[in-house]
Structure 1
Amino acid sequence: MGMDCQATFAQDMSLDLDLHRRYFRSCLHEFLPGAYIGLDTNRMTVVHFCVHALQLLGACDQIDKDAVIKWIYSLQIFRAAGSDPAQLGFRGGTQLGNPFDPCHAPPPWGAGAKTEAKGRRGGGSEEEEEEEGTPALLGAGLSPEYDQGHVAMAYTALATLRALGGPGALPPPGAPARAALVAHVKALQRPDGAWAAVAAGSERDLRFLYCACAVSALLGDWGGVDRPRALGYIRSCQNYDGAFGLNPCQESHGGSTYCAVAALQLMGELDAFFDGGGGGGGGGDREALVRWCLERQAEGGFQGRPNKAPDSCYAFWVGATLGLLGAGALADRARATAFVAACQDTAFGGFSKHPRQFPDVLHSFYSTCWLSLAGAPGLAPLDLALGVAAAAAAVPDDSSGGAAAPGSGAAAAAQLPRGDNGGDELQEEAGGGGGGSSVGQT
């Protein structure tokens, strides 16, 4: 544990940052392998991985920022008066055939077109619904009854816009598109405090609760979040071992544990949750959670659950959780960094799940996040609670009536150990750090 990260690189494997920059630039602007066809509905997330990795690698100048910003806005759905707020937000890709239109002209089927699936609002007949004339959604695709915003895509879209254009790239306070996002977040929260991913037929768990908190933090508007219910749901997911499952009574998992802890940080409730006072209520066992996270380090790398092989992405999920808890220096960062370095592809760039496998953008991004968190040379600082470069995570002014959380964004900077060279220096440049829709998929 006394070794520093730079010594690890020298002894085991150096990092070719230029090669990794080329990998992410190629995935963003040139081509993706055929295996990514199944991710077409989540293309926004792939763009998020590539853009934020390039920012951490100091290569934002290699991104066609204007083209990416326009593409992201072409995927936003915001409402005409009277439409279902749960259906708003951002879609993940163009799989429904929506035209490229970042300016959101009214759809060709007119303002009275039906946008609800048959019977979705209570079983009325198709004739009754058509007679009602539900207003069209601005930016809706060619199958509007199935075209719904996804809360994880809202998180990745807003975070990517912030990385590319700063706060000015987001919808301005008072704009309909901004109000639509807050309404979208509010409409997707369920009575038990969890969030659904989309309006109809969706799973609900801590991943989407985290995404809702991240959207609120990025906008600086918490008007869409019922915090007491959200805190109650987080508490219901905590297990006897101190860690968190995706839902109540489910097995503890590194990804869902990160989502719980990062959401608490973004809401400004992390200390209250574990230590008492405030809305957090106290009672959470911080020591047990730290112990559980430290026990996830196996064979150098981190595993997501007990008795699983180490996986490069969990260096971030578990390592960032420890950092948010103020215990990052307790992990053996040198061995974790050596494991991640062994997962890099020295021919094409990028990182794989395990050593000697092909790279993919998810594991490449979260490996890059870990290297930043661990203080690897040449990488920009990371915001632990938003999962993006610190430069993209400053909290905007709350100009739209919501209460900005005190634990979100750069405000949390001085609380988080940077971990350069294996030490316990404070990361004063920025705070918080990241994760989101991909949790639990690996």
Structure 2
Amino acid sequence: MGMDCQATFAQDMSLDLDLHRRYFRSCLHEFLPGAYIGLDTNRMTVVHFCVHALQLLGACDQIDKDAVIKWIYSLQIFRAAGSDPAQLGFRGGTQLGNPFDPCHAPPPWGAGAKTEAKGRRGGGSEEEEEEEGTPALLGAGLSPEYDQGHVAMAYTALATLRALGGPGALPPPGAPARAALVAHVKALQRPDGAWAAVAAGSERDLRFLYCACAVSALLGDWGGVDRPRALGYIRSCQNYDGAFGLNPCQESHGGSTYCAVAALQLMGELDAFFDGGGGGGGGGDREALVRWCLERQAEGGFQGRPNKAPDSCYAFWVGATLGLLGAGALADRARATAFVAACQDTAFGGFSKHPRQFPDVLHSFYSTCWLSLAGAPGLAPLDLALGVAAAAAAVPDGSSGGAAAPGSGAAPAAQLPRGDNGGDELQEEAGGGGGGSSVGQT
């Protein structure tokens, strides 16, 4: 690429935050380019990116919160008693599984909630309701094997609900909807400690382990996580260079490394994992991991793995990892911010993967996260482990099924640094499918 991003950014240290607010608001409430058609099954994640970016930009009041909350809950899956809990959770979009029918959607939670199924594909009956009053299968005509929740969608759904409505927007302790989510997380954990994305025919790797930990942290309920097995799987993914691959014996990568470190933080096992003692068991090489992360800074920005071009989203993946490890100040934040600023679209708003390319919501969101992490003026503080604004990340009161993990490490706001301080993602640009998680191999 060879461009001097430092010089480019030095000409104008300001960021047009209003333009970026308009970009995310347009993507959320107005329209998306045709290239996003391939992401229709991951629409929950696109909403997640837009809502949390607007919260970081101080523009959450510009969102039709009630409409988005109702839409999210319309995608939660309920089943009759005795069904496979792995099939619960949240769908990724309205075109998946049973048809979206807002006139008959169940209440978000509460005993005695009933779901009418008349007039739907295949009809429905009173027998589909649980004896204890849990909502019946929404859209009863479709076989459950074709209507399954995805653990990444559970994470993005709950995080977005927290951003829009605070703790009160989540199912309260004891509610059927909450129990269904904990059961969903528990049923997707595999014997080796990894998590599958969905109940059947799914890939499994650190992305989905992270999502399971994030769901548990957001609910304040760790009853669905077998921690010793999860820690064992994380340990098996660490390589000789200190970083982590998505699975054992795979190449170290910035996205999977973030998932491992953030999951350890959410479980309260980060220090034990690297320093010994406690449930983490020790053995992780913190110094080697910090060195590997610092070596990912190239041409100002961060790359996902060696010999790759820098990419705006890795400023967050690698920068947040360094922050969680207590080594954030070792990175050259000014040069990384200069690279991200060079990826701005000054006509439409948003950020691209590389300078002088079209923006997309994934890179726009994670660029915004980096700017918050780096202390850019006008942005809300970021929770490093949950990857959302700190205001959306506080553990709810009244947790059950296990103690909530310790605080996940919010990055305080600070002045924008001006000197030298020292996966395929969900989609490639706006297209591409993937496993419904925003971390992959690039």
Distance 1:35 1:4 in 2: 30
User: Closer, same or farther in 2 for the Cα pair 1:137/1:121, shift >3 Å?
Assistant: closer
Distance 1:109 1:407 in 2: 27
After TM superposition, the score normalised by the length of structure 2 is 0.85
Q: Deviations over 1:389-430 (max 9, x none)?
A: 001011112433322112446699999999999999999999
Q: How does 1:424-435 map to 2 (within 5 A)?
A: none
Q: How does 1:213-362 map to 2 (within 5 A)?
A: 213-362=213-362
Deviation at 1:141, TM superposition (A): 7.5
Q: Deviations over 1:324-344 (max 9, x none)?
A: 000000000000000000001
**Does the 8 A contact of 2:115 with 2:138 survive in 1?**
no
Deviation at 1:359, TM superposition (A): 0.2
Q: Which region of structure 1 is more displaced relative to structure 2, 209-218 or 403-412?
A: 403-412
**Does the 8 A contact of 1:155 with 1:211 survive in 2?**
yes
Deviation at 1:99, TM superposition (A): 3.8
**Does the 8 A contact of 1:104 with 1:139 survive in 2?**
no
**Does the 8 A contact of 2:44 with 2:93 survive in 1?**
yes
**Does the 8 A contact of 1:329 with 1:424 survive in 2?**
no
Distance 1:129 1:165 in 2: 28
Distance 2:423 2:130 in 1: 65
- Taking only aligned residues, the RMSD between alpha carbons, in angstroms, comes to 7.4
Deviation at 1:302, TM superposition (A): 0.1
User: Closer, same or farther in 2 for the Cα pair 1:37/1:434, shift >3 Å?
Assistant: closer
**Does the 8 A contact of 2:333 with 2:417 survive in 1?**
no
Deviation at 1:81, TM superposition (A): 1.1
User: Closer, same or farther in 2 for the Cα pair 1:363/1:410, shift >3 Å?
Assistant: closer
After TM superposition, the score normalised by the length of structure 1 is 0.85
Distance 1:110 1:143 in 2: 25
Match of 2:18 in 1: 18
Deviation at 1:14, TM superposition (A): 2.6
User: Closer, same or farther in 2 for the Cα pair 1:357/1:173, shift >3 Å?
Assistant: same
User: Closer, same or farther in 2 for the Cα pair 1:185/1:108, shift >3 Å?
Assistant: closer
**Does the 8 A contact of 1:234 with 1:260 survive in 2?**
yes
User: Closer, same or farther in 2 for the Cα pair 1:127/1:413, shift >3 Å?
Assistant: same
Deviation at 1:109, TM superposition (A): 22
Deviation at 1:281, TM superposition (A): 0.3
Q: Which region of structure 1 is more displaced relative to structure 2, 415-424 or 302-311?
A: 415-424
**Does the 8 A contact of 1:395 with 1:410 survive in 2?**
no
Q: Which region of structure 1 is more displaced relative to structure 2, 107-116 or 273-282?
A: 107-116
User: Closer, same or farther in 2 for the Cα pair 1:88/1:427, shift >3 Å?
Assistant: closer
3-state SS of paired residue (2:414): helix
Q: Deviations over 1:274-311 (max 9, x none)?
A: 00010100010000000000000000000000000000
Distance 1:104 1:126 in 2: 14
Deviation at 1:384, TM superposition (A): 0.1
**Does the 8 A contact of 1:115 with 1:144 survive in 2?**
no
Q: How does 1:70-89 map to 2 (within 5 A)?
A: 70-89=70-89
Q: How does 1:185-224 map to 2 (within 5 A)?
A: 185-224=185-224
Query: Identity, % of aligned pairs?
Result: 100
Q: Which runs of 5+ in 2 are unaligned?
A: none
Q: Which region of structure 1 is more displaced relative to structure 2, 119-128 or 411-420?
A: 119-128
User: Closer, same or farther in 2 for the Cα pair 1:430/1:405, shift >3 Å?
Assistant: farther
**Does the 8 A contact of 1:298 with 1:310 survive in 2?**
yes
Q: Which region of structure 1 is more displaced relative to structure 2, 112-121 or 143-152?
A: 112-121
Q: Which region of structure 1 is more displaced relative to structure 2, 96-105 or 254-263?
A: 96-105
**Does the 8 A contact of 1:76 with 1:139 survive in 2?**
no
**Does the 8 A contact of 2:192 with 2:229 survive in 1?**
yes
User: Closer, same or farther in 2 for the Cα pair 1:415/1:27, shift >3 Å?
Assistant: closer
Deviation at 1:437, TM superposition (A): 1.5
Deviation at 1:312, TM superposition (A): 0.2
**Does the 8 A contact of 1:343 with 1:354 survive in 2?**
yes
Q: Which runs of 5+ in 1 are unaligned?
A: none
Q: Which region of structure 1 is more displaced relative to structure 2, 61-70 or 402-411?
A: 402-411
Matched length: 442
Q: Deviations over 1:226-250 (max 9, x none)?
A: 0000000000000000000000000
Distance 2:371 2:415 in 1: 19
**Does the 8 A contact of 2:206 with 2:260 survive in 1?**
yes
User: Closer, same or farther in 2 for the Cα pair 1:413/1:242, shift >3 Å?
Assistant: farther
Distance 2:267 2:251 in 1: 24
User: Closer, same or farther in 2 for the Cα pair 1:99/1:132, shift >3 Å?
Assistant: same
3-state SS of paired residue (2:131): helix
Q: Which region of structure 1 is more displaced relative to structure 2, 393-402 or 140-149?
A: 140-149
**Does the 8 A contact of 1:269 with 1:280 survive in 2?**
yes
User: Closer, same or farther in 2 for the Cα pair 1:139/1:108, shift >3 Å?
Assistant: farther
Deviation at 1:129, TM superposition (A): 18
**Does the 8 A contact of 1:107 with 1:138 survive in 2?**
no
Q: Which region of structure 1 is more displaced relative to structure 2, 373-382 or 134-143?
A: 134-143
User: Closer, same or farther in 2 for the Cα pair 1:67/1:154, shift >3 Å?
Assistant: same
Q: Which region of structure 1 is more displaced relative to structure 2, 415-424 or 94-103?
A: 415-424
Distance 1:11 1:169 in 2: 44
User: Closer, same or farther in 2 for the Cα pair 1:193/1:9, shift >3 Å?
Assistant: same
User: Closer, same or farther in 2 for the Cα pair 1:79/1:236, shift >3 Å?
Assistant: same
Deviation at 1:22, TM superposition (A): 0.3
**Does the 8 A contact of 2:50 with 2:365 survive in 1?**
yes
Distance 2:419 2:337 in 1: 12
Q: Deviations over 1:105-141 (max 9, x none)?
A: 5899999999999999999999999999999634667
Distance 2:218 2:200 in 1: 25
User: Closer, same or farther in 2 for the Cα pair 1:436/1:304, shift >3 Å?
Assistant: farther
**Does the 8 A contact of 2:324 with 2:409 survive in 1?**
no
User: Closer, same or farther in 2 for the Cα pair 1:109/1:156, shift >3 Å?
Assistant: closer
User: Closer, same or farther in 2 for the Cα pair 1:436/1:93, shift >3 Å?
Assistant: closer
Distance 2:389 2:108 in 1: 40
User: Closer, same or farther in 2 for the Cα pair 1:110/1:23, shift >3 Å?
Assistant: closer
User: Closer, same or farther in 2 for the Cα pair 1:10/1:58, shift >3 Å?
Assistant: farther
Deviation at 1:83, TM superposition (A): 1.1
User: Closer, same or farther in 2 for the Cα pair 1:425/1:69, shift >3 Å?
Assistant: closer
Q: Deviations over 1:331-380 (max 9, x none)?
A: 00000000000001000100000000000000000000000000001100
User: Closer, same or farther in 2 for the Cα pair 1:307/1:422, shift >3 Å?
Assistant: closer
Deviation at 1:13, TM superposition (A): 4.8
**Does the 8 A contact of 1:119 with 1:125 survive in 2?**
no
Deviation at 1:104, TM superposition (A): 6.1
User: Closer, same or farther in 2 for the Cα pair 1:140/1:232, shift >3 Å?
Assistant: farther
